[in-house]
Amino acid sequence: MPQYPKVVLTIPGKENAEAALTCRNTRGRDTDKAAKFNVALNGIAESSIKILDIYSLH
């Protein structure tokens, strides 16, 4: 993945398995997944990467 300056690897728990599979089957290049699946993303001051708020999935 040299073309990406930052990468985050996440492993969802069982309680998020269905949401993760549904999201995985949608291309992020063509779709704003956060908007489509109504998922909250949180920013961290020290990073430009948005963090998934897993509690918004419940």
Tokens linked to 24: 């995985």
Rounded CA gap, 14 and 58, in Å? 12
pLDDT tens for 29-55 read: 888 888 887 777 777 777 777 666 655
Percent of the chain with pLDDT over 90: 0
| Domain residue limits, the chain | 14-57
SS3 content of the chain, % helix, strand, coil (to 5): 35, 15, 50
**pTM listed for this prediction:** 0.44
pLDDT mean over 7-15: 76
Written as one letter, the residue type at 18 is E
Give the pLDDT band (50/70/90) at residue 10: confident
Rounded CA gap, 55 and 53, in Å? 5
Could you give phi then psi for residue 48, rounded to 5 degrees? -90, -5
Question: Residue 1 above 60 pLDDT?
Answer: no
